[in-house]
Structure 1
Amino acid sequence: MTAEPLVVCEDVARTFGTGPAAVTAVRDSRCSVHSGARIAIAGPSGSGKSTLLHLMAGMEQPTRGSVSWPALGARTRDIGVVFQSPSLVPTLDVGENAGLPLVIAGVEEPELAQRVAEALALVGVDDLAAKLPEEISGGQAQRVAVARVLAQRPRLLLADEPTGQLDRAAGQRLLDALLDATEHLGAALVVTSHDRAVIERLDTHWTMHEGTLRTTESRAVTS
């Protein structure tokens, strides 16, 4: 028996604005993501990749079509999103930044400390817990942003151009951390990118072209 998918997009479209100035970012696209998936969505800037991820996360509402989360129900809090910019709070140290969503959600000690420590260790920055954002590198800051999401223990992790502001080596290290962490958590991973070195590390390759999603299955080269 096939498990229910984590997210299903049925003929979704998303248009911004009205009249002659309207821009359609996603056009009549359909897809589903199951547990354990490792998916790369390729395409140039402006092709609709980010908007599709926002629809999957429930951050945007489709203009047409529907998005549902069969295996999650209404629990879109089980979806974590990593953005291109880490957006750390400059006055909080690394550990406090990683734990901030848990504080907001009302998670109490000692569970909060345990989950933060685990998340920081998963991405290899546990030795930076007491550092301020200004004291770490851009690659380290992006790992902290990933840890902030992992501490919430998502079942679906959506990463929007997570290596876009990093050099090749730092980007590959971040992708290593994403793959290892989602494997540890048993979470599905969807990554948008136009970097072939990132795309080829994931098992399934989709593409966006002028707002239309094309889904294909292909095995990635992981060496």
Structure 2
Amino acid sequence: MSVVRCADVARTFGHGDRAVVAVHGCSCEIAAGARIAITGASGSGKSTLLHLLAGLEKPTSGTVSWPEFAASPLERARDIAVVFQGPSLLPALDVLENTVMAAVLTGTAEEEATRRALVALDDVGIPGLVDQLPETLSGGQAQRVAVARALTLRPRLLLADEPTGQLDEGTGRQVMDVLLAAADTLGAALVVSTHDPAVGDRLDEQWQMRDGRLFLPVLDGAS
């Protein structure tokens, strides 16, 4: 059972002489419950591919489909959560408000979203920061809030774009612990883009991006 499929997907930014092809002819399937690392250097197309998988970017050509999810983009957004690479918290909102926001915007009642958010903040180890503003948080704390916000959606597909890229080794390891545990609890597929081999080694599969092209592992016994 696949939660997302890409069929010959490409994404180009700009036009004419200024056009840049970020993703070339990508075809792949992500199964329910998968644990996948997308590895590659900066600028290799990892982030663009994750945004295509999430439905945040539309392909220039090819198709992305979500066979198990609702057809409506708003309803589908309840099943797909993204943890972005850089700071993505709204500075005027406190930690609890930031954590609740995505679930409320996708139709969850505020009381239920708040209940989920408090559980998620406890799960990521920062229950005491609910009233703090983002400017008072460390990088690791802010990334944990971003993970908690994603978990509040109760997604079936969890996408994380370089979630440890701006963190020290210890904090990065803790963030990955939280992501893996959350995916297990939710029964969600987890896809993490990373340039860090230590992060990639924690996932069951490693796919590689080079110059916008996706290279899948060769299965044992394949010709």
TM-score norm. by structure 1 comes to 0.91
Aligned counterparts, 1:199-218, within 5 A: 199-216=200-217
Tell me the residue number matched to 1:16.
13
Q: How far apart, in 2, do the equivalents of 1:160 and 1:17 lie?
A: 23
Tell me the residue number matched to 1:196.
197
Given residue 53 of structure 2, which amino acid in structure 1 is its aligned partner? Answer: M
What SS does structure 1 have at the residue aligned with 2:192?
strand
Change (3 A) 1:191 1:91: same
* Aligned length, in residue pairs: 215
- Asked whether the 8 Å contact 1:86–1:144 carries over to 2, the reply is no
Given residue 113 of structure 2, which amino acid in structure 1 is its aligned partner? Answer: L
Cα offset, 1:178, TM superposition: 0.5
- Asked whether the 8 Å contact 2:100–2:110 carries over to 1, the reply is no
Corresponding residue to 1:68 among 61, 65, 70: 65
Corresponding residue to 2:27 among 30, 33, 39: 30
Which sits farther off after the overlay, 32-41 or 16-25?
16-25
Given residue 197 of structure 2, which amino acid in structure 1 is its aligned partner? Answer: R
Cα offset, 1:32, TM superposition: 0.7
Given residue 46 of structure 1, which amino acid in structure 2 is its aligned partner? Answer: G
Identity score, percent = 57
Cα offset, 1:103, TM superposition: 3.1
Tell me the residue number matched to 1:167.
168
Q: How far apart, in 2, do the equivalents of 1:91 and 1:61 lie?
A: 30
Runs of 4+ aligned residues of structure 1 deviating over 6 Å after TM superposition are none
Q: How far apart, in 1, do the equivalents of 2:44 and 2:60 lie?
A: 17
Q: How far apart, in 1, do the equivalents of 2:148 and 2:44 lie?
A: 28
Q: How far apart, in 2, do the equivalents of 1:204 and 1:212 lie?
A: 17
Given residue 145 of structure 1, which amino acid in structure 2 is its aligned partner? Answer: A
Q: How far apart, in 1, do the equivalents of 2:185 and 2:97 lie?
A: 22
Q: How far apart, in 2, do the equivalents of 1:145 and 1:176 lie?
A: 14
Q: How far apart, in 1, do the equivalents of 2:117 and 2:186 lie?
A: 14
Tell me the residue number matched to 1:46.
43
What SS does structure 2 have at the residue aligned with 1:24?
strand
Change (3 A) 1:135 1:21: closer
Tell me the residue number matched to 2:151.
150
Pairwise CA RMSD of aligned residues?
Answer: 1.5
Which sits farther off after the overlay, 33-42 or 96-105?
96-105
- Per-residue CA deviation, residues 64-89 of structure 1 (Å, 9 max, x unaligned), is 11100011132431111111123222
Q: How far apart, in 1, do the equivalents of 2:214 and 2:164 lie?
A: 21
- Per-residue CA deviation, residues 11-70 of structure 1 (Å, 9 max, x unaligned), is 111111222221111111111111111100000011111111111111111111110001
Unaligned runs of 5+ in 1: 219-223
Tell me the residue number matched to 1:116.
117
- Asked whether the 8 Å contact 2:3–2:69 carries over to 1, the reply is yes
Change (3 A) 1:109 1:61: closer
Cα offset, 1:107, TM superposition: 3.0
Unaligned runs of 5+ in 2: none
Tell me the residue number matched to 1:182.
183
Q: How far apart, in 2, do the equivalents of 1:57 and 1:14 lie?
A: 14
- Asked whether the 8 Å contact 2:104–2:110 carries over to 1, the reply is no
Corresponding residue to 2:4 among 4, 7, 20: 7
